[in-house]
Protein backbone atom coordinates (compact mmCIF):
# COMPACT_ATOMS: atom_id res chain seq x y z
CA UNK A 1 0.00 0.00 0.00
CA UNK A 2 1.07 3.58 -0.47
CA UNK A 3 1.99 5.63 2.55
CA UNK A 4 4.49 5.85 5.33
CA UNK A 5 5.45 3.80 8.32
CA UNK A 6 5.96 5.73 11.49
CA UNK A 7 9.00 4.71 13.50
CA UNK A 8 9.87 5.31 17.13
CA UNK A 9 13.36 5.88 18.50
CA UNK A 10 13.48 2.17 19.42
CA UNK A 11 12.38 1.17 15.92
CA UNK A 12 15.11 3.33 14.39
CA UNK A 13 17.80 1.88 16.65
CA UNK A 14 16.66 -1.68 15.92
CA UNK A 15 16.46 -1.11 12.15
CA UNK A 16 19.82 0.66 12.06
CA UNK A 17 21.48 -2.19 13.95
CA UNK A 18 19.80 -4.73 11.66
CA UNK A 19 21.14 -2.94 8.58
CA UNK A 20 24.60 -2.40 10.09
CA UNK A 21 24.14 1.34 10.04
CA UNK A 22 24.55 4.01 12.66
CA UNK A 23 21.38 5.80 13.73
CA UNK A 24 22.38 8.98 11.87
CA UNK A 25 23.20 6.99 8.73
CA UNK A 26 19.90 5.15 8.92
CA UNK A 27 17.97 8.37 9.35
CA UNK A 28 19.76 10.04 6.47
CA UNK A 29 19.13 7.12 4.16
CA UNK A 30 15.67 5.96 5.20
CA UNK A 31 13.75 8.64 7.07
CA UNK A 32 11.80 10.78 4.68
CA UNK A 33 9.69 12.88 6.91
CA UNK A 34 9.66 14.34 10.38
CA UNK A 35 6.24 15.63 11.32
CA UNK A 36 5.67 18.91 13.16
CA UNK A 37 5.28 16.94 16.36
CA UNK A 38 8.66 15.26 15.78
CA UNK A 39 7.35 11.86 14.67
CA UNK A 40 9.53 10.17 12.06
CA UNK A 41 8.48 8.17 9.04
CA UNK A 42 10.43 5.86 6.83
CA UNK A 43 10.66 6.61 3.19
CA UNK A 44 8.18 4.95 0.86
CA UNK A 45 9.18 3.43 -2.43
CA UNK A 46 6.83 4.19 -5.31
CA UNK A 47 3.68 2.76 -3.88
CA UNK A 48 4.91 0.56 -1.09
CA UNK A 49 7.30 0.54 1.80
CA UNK A 50 10.94 0.75 0.75
CA UNK A 51 11.63 -2.46 2.68
CA UNK A 52 9.09 -4.52 0.76
CA UNK A 53 10.85 -6.77 -1.75
CA UNK A 54 9.62 -7.56 -5.25
CA UNK A 55 8.31 -10.91 -4.00
CA UNK A 56 6.27 -9.04 -1.37
CA UNK A 57 8.33 -10.01 1.66
CA UNK A 58 9.61 -7.66 4.33
CA UNK A 59 13.39 -7.37 3.96
CA UNK A 60 13.78 -6.16 7.56
CA UNK A 61 11.25 -8.56 9.06
CA UNK A 62 13.19 -9.36 12.26
CA UNK A 63 13.69 -5.65 12.93
CA UNK A 64 10.41 -4.32 11.51
CA UNK A 65 8.80 -1.36 13.25
CA UNK A 66 6.33 -1.81 16.08
CA UNK A 67 3.42 -0.65 13.94
CA UNK A 68 4.18 -3.41 11.45
CA UNK A 69 4.25 -6.01 14.22
CA UNK A 70 0.65 -5.25 15.08
CA UNK A 71 -0.51 -5.42 11.50
CA UNK A 72 -2.16 -8.60 10.30
CA UNK A 73 -0.52 -9.69 7.04
CA UNK A 74 -2.87 -12.22 5.61
CA UNK A 75 -2.82 -13.16 1.98
CA UNK A 76 -6.01 -11.22 1.37
CA UNK A 77 -7.03 -7.70 0.59
CA UNK A 78 -6.50 -5.38 3.52
CA UNK A 79 -10.19 -4.55 3.66
CA UNK A 80 -10.93 -8.22 4.29
CA UNK A 81 -8.80 -8.24 7.43
CA UNK A 82 -10.58 -5.23 8.84
CA UNK A 83 -13.96 -6.58 7.78
CA UNK A 84 -13.16 -9.71 9.81
CA UNK A 85 -12.12 -7.62 12.80
CA UNK A 86 -15.31 -5.59 12.57
CA UNK A 87 -17.50 -8.65 12.08
CA UNK A 88 -16.05 -10.52 15.06
CA UNK A 89 -15.74 -7.33 17.14
CA UNK A 90 -12.14 -8.27 17.90
CA UNK A 91 -9.00 -6.16 17.92
CA UNK A 92 -6.61 -6.95 15.07
CA UNK A 93 -3.94 -8.14 17.55
CA UNK A 94 -6.33 -10.78 18.92
CA UNK A 95 -7.20 -11.92 15.39
CA UNK A 96 -3.49 -12.31 14.78
CA UNK A 97 -3.12 -14.52 17.89
CA UNK A 98 -6.08 -16.64 16.76
CA UNK A 99 -4.54 -16.95 13.31
CA UNK A 100 -1.28 -18.24 14.86
CA UNK A 101 -3.18 -20.74 17.00
CA UNK A 102 -5.09 -21.93 13.94
CA UNK A 103 -1.85 -22.33 11.99
CA UNK A 104 -0.44 -24.49 14.82
CA UNK A 105 -3.52 -26.72 14.63
CA UNK A 106 -3.19 -27.04 10.83
CA UNK A 107 0.53 -27.93 11.07
S1 LIG B 1 6.45 -5.03 7.51
FE2 LIG B 1 8.38 -4.47 6.49
S3 LIG B 1 7.82 -4.11 4.35
FE4 LIG B 1 5.92 -4.03 5.54
S5 LIG B 1 5.63 -1.87 6.04
FE6 LIG B 1 6.73 -2.81 7.74
S7 LIG B 1 8.90 -2.47 7.32
FE8 LIG B 1 7.77 -2.12 5.43
Ligand 1 site, residue 85, Cβ cutoff 6 A: no
Tell me what pLDDT residue 107 has. 56
> What is the rounded radius of gyration, in angstroms, for the C-alpha atoms of the chain?
16
What are the 10-residue block averages of pLDDT along the chain, 107 residues in total?
A: 82 97 96 89 79 88 90 62 73 72 64
State which of 65, 69, 73 you would mutate to test the pocket of ligand 1, scoring each by most atoms of that ligand within 8 A of its C-beta. 65
Tell me what pLDDT residue 79 has. 65
Domain ranges of the chain: 1-66, 70-107
Tell me what pLDDT residue 70 has. 79
Per the confidence metrics, is the pTM higher than 0.85? Answer: no
Q: From CA 98, how far away is CA 94, in angstroms rounded?
A: 6
What element of type H or E holds 39? none
Tell me what pLDDT residue 55 has. 84
Residue 76's Cβ-count burial label (10 Å; 0-12, 13-18, 19+) is exposed
Amino acid sequence: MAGYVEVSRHDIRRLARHLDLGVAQFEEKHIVEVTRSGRKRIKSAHDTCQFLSADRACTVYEARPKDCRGYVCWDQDDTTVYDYAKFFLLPVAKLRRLEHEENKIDA
